[in-house]
């Protein structure tokens, strides 16, 4: 079959030359189109990969910031509780009766004519 095509001579007319040029132009157009589509696909994949990488990095950064925020929120709650306790203690320490009561229990401060007996906190020794 191939031998038959090789043995057939082409007609050397203006129309055939024009048709061959048209076919060649169409072939070149198709080749350029395929190259442009391949280039566009590669560029699109690179852009998509870059955007995906950026998105993943941002999500990780957001997760880290969220964890840090929650940690700081817990610390702030603890500090607010401590502040409330300290304010309450300041109020109590401004009360003279409370200060005298602490002095009596912790430092063995006594009133006039009062005797303080220290009882050990250990259990019975029998």
pLDDT (tens place) for every residue of the chain, 126 residues total: 566 666 777 777 889 899 999 999 999 999 999 999 999 999 999 999 999 999 999 999 999 999 999 999 999 999 999 999 999 999 999 998 888 888 877 877 777 777 777 777 776 655
Contacts of 79 by beta carbon, 8 Å cutoff, 6+ apart: none
Q: What is the pTM of this model?
A: 0.54
Can you say whether residue 117 is alpha, beta or left, with left for phi > 0 and alpha for psi between -120 and 50 degrees?
beta
> Do 40 and 32 form a contact (C-beta atoms < 8 A)?
no
- Does residue 44 belong to any structural domain of this protein? yes
- Does residue 22 belong to any structural domain of this protein? yes
- Does residue 92 belong to any structural domain of this protein? yes
Query: What is the number of domains present in the chain?
Result: 1
- Does residue 125 belong to any structural domain of this protein? no
Q: What is the pLDDT of residue 63?
A: 98
Largest interatomic CA distance in the chain: 142
> Do 18 and 24 form a contact (C-beta atoms < 8 A)?
no
**Parent domain of 44:** 12-107
Q: What is the pLDDT of residue 34?
A: 98
């Amino acid at each position: 079959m191939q031998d038959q095509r090789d043995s057939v001579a082409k007609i050397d007319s203006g129309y055939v030359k024009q048709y061959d040029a048209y076919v060649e132009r169409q072939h070149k157009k198709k080749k350029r189109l395929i190259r442009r589509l391949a280039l566009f696909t590669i560029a699109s994949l690179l852009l998509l990969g870059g955007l995906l990488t950026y998105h993943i990095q941002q999500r990780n950064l957001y997760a880290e910031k969220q964890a840090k925020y929650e940690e700081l929120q817990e610390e702030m709650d603890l500090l607010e509780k401590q502040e409330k306790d300290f304010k309450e203690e300041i109020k109590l320490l401004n009360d003279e009766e409370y200060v005298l009561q602490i002095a009596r229990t912790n430092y063995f401060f006594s009133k006039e004519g009062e005797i303080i007996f220290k009882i050990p906190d250990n259990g019975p020794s029998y």
